Amino acid sequence: MPEAALRTEPAYQALEDERDKLSAISLSSLLSDPTRFECFSRQQHDVVLDFSRNLITEDTLGLLMGLAERRALEAWRDRLFGGQPVNHTEGRAALHMALRAPQDSEWLVSGIDVMPEVVAERERMLSLASSIRDGSLAGVSGSFTDVVNIGIGGSDLGLVMVNEALSASAGDGGPSVHFVSNIDGCALADLLQRLDPGRTLFVVCSKSFSTLETQLNAEQAREWVVRSLGREACGRHFVAISTNDLAMDDFGIAKDLRLRLWDWVGGRYSLWSSVGLAIAVGIGTDAFRELLAGAATMDDHFCRAEFADNWPVLLGLIGIWNQNFLGSTSHIVLPYTERLASLPAYLQQLDMESNGKSVDRSGSTVDFPTGCPLWGGSGSNAQHSFFQLLHQGTAKFSMDFVAPVKSTGAPPNQQLHSLANMLAQADVFAHGYSEAQAIADLTESGLAADVAKQMAPHRVHAGGRPSNVLLMRHLNPHNLGFLLAMYEHKVFVQSVVWGINPFDQWGVQLGKQVASETHRALSRGHGTASLPGIAAIIRDWGTA
């Protein structure tokens, strides 16, 4: 399999020549072709992908597809879907697709079909979610009014995002679902002040059951339950999702309130598993099944569609074009619905924890950019915060605009305003606003010619900022599942072209280890070697 020598691939060099050729052409001029949308957009079911506002031609796409072929994308996709240990630094498969696969399909890990276990656990989780929703599982004072998910990273971000996106369409009936994650414990402490201990269920969601943030918050919750209801009540007020049975024993999780997952499910790919319990409680079990079905539709598409029509392949390669060839240094995700306000945070972990690597699979340092810093915010809020820099600053970046046409619960006229803003922004980013236009407009508004000339540079928008638009008919569970699986596979496509392992995350370990040593030193009132001054101030001031 090809590895670090990406830049010496003839296909890569051909793309560098293509970049030089296109440097004389503006995105705005490409967009004047009336067939552009037809050529550079695709539609599936209720979702449209418009990638016409990128500095690409059919030739560029052909060259990008050629690069993907050279990097053996098809073979890597087969290894991924075949349950092979693509996560070679941990010796694991990455078979999250099995979690959303139809019941009668077969998914092999080391030659063993995992589907019987997957389906059994899926049904256990959904039945637990139903019993929490309908009150047949209850706390010491009655049916649960509140469910608190305690988890972080992949055991939190996707759950928060999907609940925010879909709970408005879930109707009433279930308890309120809350999420706490941060190590400082403020969020949980504040929340507990408002909750009734006898009617609150905690879901300790941690693949490892050893993540410090989750342990500390779970301990805070357990102390609260013990203080309010007595130790025996804990067995009825805690559910856990983990691979770590011993740690669940130690914590005191009742055997029938444990859900399991497998080591071939990475944290950031786990919302489709039992980890999604808080989603199923929040949006209902039918909606959860629809979410899985939408993701499975995308899995099927990714496996079968020709590269030229394959959305994760197109988006992955266009991302690489923008970053490795045109110099973008960040990718900005802009959902034009408040319901997807947490999408950028979720994608940050998915993309940056996966592709934030600087060695290839063989351990050699790469000599090209890999994972792109990803950030964003909901439109139109973002227009009033960071868009100024995007329009007139010096940074180079690419963008994804994401929006539903119909918005559950919001007045349709307001969603139309939201869509108008999104399309206007995509257009302005692409076309810009020239100095000549500015001078003409200022003069027409009555300014003297010399003043107009002085003012015009301040009004110029360079344009040529590349973007994709992802438009859904509705923000429903199926379309959301489809979208999230698309992003998962886009990240995978990029990892294959770059020759890196997207399924490990060693970069988060060292800081945890040093933090634990630092905490030991601070607790003993000592300074630390690297931070003697600050540590002394913390000791003097004290945290209590």
CB of 374 to ligand F6P, least distance (A): 15
> 241, 275 in Cβ contact below 8 A?
yes
Which DSSP symbol is given to 57? -
CB of 158 to ligand F6P, least distance (A): 9
- The residue from 232, 255, 384, 444 that is catalytic is 384
- The residue from 121, 213, 353, 488 that is catalytic is 353
List the one residue out of 171, 224, 170 whose CA is nearest residue 201.
224
CB of 370 to ligand F6P, least distance (A): 18
CB of 375 to ligand F6P, least distance (A): 17
Give catalytic status of residue 512 as yes or no: yes
CB of 151 to ligand F6P, least distance (A): 6
Which helix (DSSP H) or strand (DSSP E) does residue 333 occupy?
strand 330-335
Rounded Cα distance, 125 and 130, in Å: 9
Cβ nearer to ligand F6P, comparing 348 with 358: 348
How far is residue 357 from each of residues 72, 481, 494, measured CA to CA in Å? Answer: 19, 27, 12
Instruction: Please state the separation of Cα 528 from the chain's center in Å.
Output: 36
CB of 511 to ligand F6P, least distance (A): 10
Query: Which region, left, alpha or beta, applies to residue 45 given φ > 0 means left and ψ of -120 to 50 means alpha?
Result: left
CB of 272 to ligand F6P, least distance (A): 14
> 87, 344 in Cβ contact below 8 A?
no
Q: Which residue is nearest to ligand F6P (CB)?
A: 267
Cβ nearer to ligand F6P, comparing 160 with 314: 160
CB of 261 to ligand F6P, least distance (A): 9
Cβ nearer to ligand F6P, comparing 349 with 476: 349
> 357, 292 in Cβ contact below 8 A?
no
Cβ nearer to ligand F6P, comparing 204 with 333: 204
Cβ nearer to ligand F6P, comparing 75 with 508: 508
Cβ nearer to ligand F6P, comparing 242 with 425: 242
List the one residue out of 175, 245, 188 whose CA is nearest residue 217.
188
Rounded Cα distance, 351 and 489, in Å: 10
Tokens 């590895």 found at: 3
- The residue from 406, 417, 512, 519 that is catalytic is 512
- Pairing mode, if any, of strands 146-150 and 176-180? parallel
> 108, 83 in Cβ contact below 8 A?
yes
Cβ nearer to ligand F6P, comparing 341 with 352: 352
Cβ nearer to ligand F6P, comparing 153 with 376: 153
CB of 56 to ligand F6P, least distance (A): 33
φ/ψ of residue 97, rounded to 5 = -60, -30
> 392, 371 in Cβ contact below 8 A?
no
Rounded Cα distance, 135 and 137, in Å: 5
List the one residue out of 260, 214, 254 whose CA is nearest residue 241.
260
Give catalytic status of residue 384 as yes or no: yes
Adjacent-strand bridge partners of 259:
241
Cβ nearer to ligand F6P, comparing 208 with 362: 208
Give catalytic status of residue 353 as yes or no: yes
CA-CA-CA-CA dihedral for 358, 360, 362, 365, to nearest 10: -40
Residue type, 6: L
CB of 266 to ligand F6P, least distance (A): 7
The contacts of residue 163 (CB under 8 Å, 6+ apart) are: 177, 179, 278, 279, 282, 283
Rounded Cα distance, 27 and 450, in Å: 30
Identify the burial level of 181 via C-beta atoms within 10 angstroms of its C-beta, where 0-12 means exposed, 13-18 middle and 19 or more buried: buried
* Cβ atoms within 10 Å of 224's Cβ, excluding its own: 18
Cβ nearer to ligand F6P, comparing 258 with 268: 268
Which DSSP symbol is given to 89? T
Rounded Cα distance, 193 and 330, in Å: 40
Hey, what are 326's tokens?
């045109």
List contacts with ligand F6P (CB under 6 A): 152-155, 206-208, 211, 214, 267-268, 353, 505, 508
Catalytic sites, residue numbers? 353, 384, 512
